[in-house]
Structure 1
Amino acid sequence: MFDYETLKLIWWLLVGVLLVGFAIMDGHDMGVGTLLPFVGRSDIERRVVINTVGPHWDGNQVWFITGGGAIFAAWPLIYATAFSGFYWAMLAVLWALFFRPVGFDYRSKLQNPTWRRTWDWGLFVGGTVPPIIFGVAFGNLLQGVPFHFNSLLVPYYTGSFWQLLNPFALLCGVVSSAMLVFHGGIYLAHRTEEPLAARARAAVYGAGTVMLLGFAAAGFWVAHLDGYAITSTIDPNALPNPAAKEVVRHAGAWLSNYQKAPLTMLVPALAFAGGVLAMLLTRAGRTGLAFIASSIAIVGVIGTAGVSMFPFLMPSSSDPNHSLTVWDSVSSHLTLGIMLWATLIFMPLIIFYTGWAYRVMRGKVTVERIKRDEHSAY
């Protein structure tokens, strides 16, 4: 059994892996959903677009559900505080996601054009709203969330929904949305033929440019934000107590980890290198490799937020001393240990099943294929 400090670090990495896995796997079908009304110019073309992700989208959401469950079990204080503070934002995500299962299943059941166009826009909402809100949430985490604990460690959120929609958070929402449209566009270009593939490639270049410029702008902004730093002594093996530390805020604090460990600069470099390489590979027609490169870019974008904030998970702008960190927002030693073994057993099964499913259903989705399978295709 690992000691408590090691388990805390392992679960910081594992939750990060789950978030990245969600962005890569569920992110590309959300990106395809965002592109659906614009890339498909006719009903049959839109059916082609839908069928590139139709067999896989629900399986991909395992990453989303597993990530939420891991946060609930490993970081209960984060779960409780975040779902209190971001309550309406989380509901907006869930409402948007409701359009996906009914949209995929019922969209092509009727021949009525109005019916089908309505569900096309429903799938657009289900693919567009969640990435924007997740990006806005990360933007607010980097600025600090207005919450504090009482003497019984009950969290109190003192902000409002509209405070979440500040300029920096909205910029992060744009980066998040562009990142998944970029990723989904590459997948769509890989799974379709002309002229759909050409339209998908055009979306890749536009979304990739927005992602890289937005990521650079956000990095410059973060360098001038008031970040957080712990000034008191921390015992990583101590029992969790989020109020038992001293925290200060100062400009540039989010860059301190890069100064302490220069190799961490490779993480944001992955975002730029992966993004540029993915666009070049897409232009060269190597869309399979481009998908891998865009996945690396996603690792870089999400990893940059994690490395910058470490060990903070949810900083408090109301009382910085009550900020939640890797060391003081976790479950017990026993809980983390049991969960680790469960993860080591079940995560490889999920990866194996996902890989097998994609291999079985590989290949181009064509107009002829949809016409042939008129009554069984989405």
Structure 2
Amino acid sequence: MAFLDYEMLRLIWWALLGILLIGFALTDGFDLGVAALLPFVAREDRERRMVINTIGPTWEGNQVWFILGGGAIFAAWPFVYAVSFSGFYLAMFLVLSALILRPVGFKYRSKRPDPAWRARWDWALFVGGLMPALVFGVAVGNVLSGAPFRLDSDLRAFYEGTLLGLFTPFTLLCGLLSVAMLVLHGSAWITLKVEQTSAVHARARAIGTVAALLSILLFAGGWAFVAYGDIGYRIVGDVDPLGPSNPLRTTSEAAAGAWLANYGAHPWMMIAPILGFAGALLALFGIRRGSEPAAFTGSSLSAAGIIATVGLSMFPFLLPSRIDPHSSLTVWNASSSAHTLAIMVVATVVFLPIVLAYTAWAYKVMFGRVTARDVATNPDFY
């Protein structure tokens, strides 16, 4: 890795973190969307079994991206991991509690034929899909607006926020955008996976249309909030991309509208927000015209564009501090050592293609539409 200096290694891991988060949104994201839609697109047990079995074979593997993302933050950005996971502890607990409901719901809902028993587990699956989607969006909103933490001279982190303090008008807008984005993705997946003549397919199309429109409106609202609200941070003075990882060596300040500065300096970054809007429009077109591949491609592009917009807008910030901007964590001051990042690059080059190849093979093997006849005649279905 002699040809990669410390600056390049930091940039690589910033990009890889974004790729892992996008991978999580594109795979486990439609699982969350499908679960959040379960009570609304399916009205009786056979229909609900159809919906559940659209994600039943793959949801566990899709969680790999969530684990990889958390591992990447822990290893590549230890300051970010320490501050965010300790400060947002209660919010993370809500997410994990909701995610725990998913495997339990999948495994237990069909253990008894009692309708009330199955209905309770169906609502548990709904919570397991909606809650993470909402909280993840609220968390991103708090990252954009700044987290209430500070570092002392010994680099000890002190979090001075509360759980309810995470929910502000802007962060709630981000949470609703996250829900709309993943519900759109889940709707597109359902239309791709269930038989086209079913009532489930028709309901998924109807909800997907609304979710696509809401994604566009909420994304535009978030953009306006960032452009005209009191949101944004910037680095004051020179930055040493090769310097040691010490957040207190960087001077940062709050600056309204600063998140848009990167687009003026690097116009190519506008690709991300354009992709966010264009993907949602493509998904809307595909849903309305009955083109399921176009709808799913559009929802995927929209999710990728929205997430990329956040990362590109904030660069080089990773976690700004609202109460003490001087403590803000950036790509240049919060990474692991160059040696650690280099070893991780080698591991990623070796193992990430294996994960991608296995994932592609699994989807190929398990591809196909789920029909009412399948769930009626196959006892191995959920």
Partner amino acid for 1:252?
G
Identity rate, percent: 53
Residue of structure 2 in register with 1:301 after alignment: 306
| 1:210 pairs with one of 198, 208, 214 | 214
| 1:195 pairs with one of 190, 193, 199 | 199
Residue of structure 2 in register with 1:47 after alignment: 49
Question: Shift of the alpha carbon at 1:241?
Answer: 0.7
Question: Shift of the alpha carbon at 1:285?
Answer: 1.9
Partner amino acid for 2:341?
L
Matched, 1:346 2:348: no
| 1:292 pairs with one of 290, 294, 297 | 297
Residue of structure 1 in register with 2:90 after alignment: 88
| 1:263 pairs with one of 257, 261, 268 | 268
Residue of structure 2 in register with 1:112 after alignment: 114
| 1:72 pairs with one of 67, 74, 79 | 74
| 1:174 pairs with one of 159, 173, 176 | 176
Question: Shift of the alpha carbon at 1:299?
Answer: 1.0
| 1:316 pairs with one of 296, 308, 321 | 321
Specify every segment of 5 or more residues in structure 2 that has no aligned partner in the other structure, as ranges: none
| 2:27 pairs with one of 25, 28, 37 | 25
Q: What SS class does the counterpart of residue 230 from structure 1 fall into?
A: strand
Question: Shift of the alpha carbon at 1:283?
Answer: 1.8
Residue of structure 2 in register with 1:61 after alignment: 63
Question: Shift of the alpha carbon at 1:226?
Answer: 3.2
Q: What SS class does the counterpart of residue 148 from structure 1 fall into?
A: strand
Partner amino acid for 1:302?
I
TM-score by length of 2: 0.97
Partner amino acid for 1:169?
T
Q: What SS class does the counterpart of residue 248 from structure 1 fall into?
A: strand
Cα deviation digits, residues 102-143 of structure 1 (max 9, x gap): 111111111011110000000001100001111001111111
Question: Shift of the alpha carbon at 1:197?
Answer: 0.6
Residue of structure 2 in register with 1:333 after alignment: 338
Question: Shift of the alpha carbon at 1:249?
Answer: 1.7
Residue of structure 2 in register with 1:162 after alignment: 164
Asked if structure 1 preserves the Cα contact closer than 8 Å seen for 2:28 and 2:59, the reply is yes
Cα deviation digits, residues 149-206 of structure 1 (max 9, x gap): 1121011101111110111000000000110000000000111122111100011101
Q: State the distance in 2 between where 1:228 and 1:331 align.
A: 23
Q: State the distance in 2 between where 1:337 and 1:284 align.
A: 48
Question: Shift of the alpha carbon at 1:234?
Answer: 1.0
Cα deviation digits, residues 343-374 of structure 1 (max 9, x gap): 1111111111111111111111001011110x
Residue of structure 1 in register with 2:375 after alignment: 370
Q: What SS class does the counterpart of residue 235 from structure 1 fall into?
A: coil
Partner amino acid for 2:316?
P
Partner amino acid for 1:94?
L
Residue of structure 1 in register with 2:284 after alignment: 279
Matched, 1:220 2:237: no
| 1:234 pairs with one of 236, 239, 244 | 239
TM-score by length of 1: 0.98
Q: State the distance in 1 between where 2:28 and 2:320 align.
A: 27
Q: What SS class does the counterpart of residue 63 from structure 2 fall into?
A: helix
Asked if structure 1 preserves the Cα contact closer than 8 Å seen for 2:181 and 2:215, the reply is yes
Q: State the distance in 2 between where 1:17 and 1:186 align.
A: 22
Asked if structure 1 preserves the Cα contact closer than 8 Å seen for 2:250 and 2:333, the reply is no
Question: Shift of the alpha carbon at 1:53?
Answer: 0.2
Q: State the distance in 1 between where 2:359 and 2:296 align.
A: 16
Question: Shift of the alpha carbon at 1:91?
Answer: 0.3
Moved more, 19-28 or 221-230: 221-230
Matched, 1:149 2:151: yes
Q: State the distance in 2 between where 1:49 and 1:23 align.
A: 19
Question: Shift of the alpha carbon at 1:245?
Answer: 1.6
**RMSD, matched Cα:** 0.8
Q: What SS class does the counterpart of residue 313 from structure 1 fall into?
A: strand
Q: State the distance in 2 between where 1:353 and 1:298 align.
A: 23
Q: State the distance in 1 between where 2:263 and 2:41 align.
A: 40
Question: Shift of the alpha carbon at 1:289?
Answer: 2.6
Residue of structure 1 in register with 2:5 after alignment: 3
Specify every segment of 5 or more residues in structure 1 that has no aligned partner in the other structure, as ranges: none
Q: State the distance in 1 between where 2:236 and 2:154 align.
A: 24
Q: State the distance in 1 between where 2:250 and 2:359 align.
A: 43
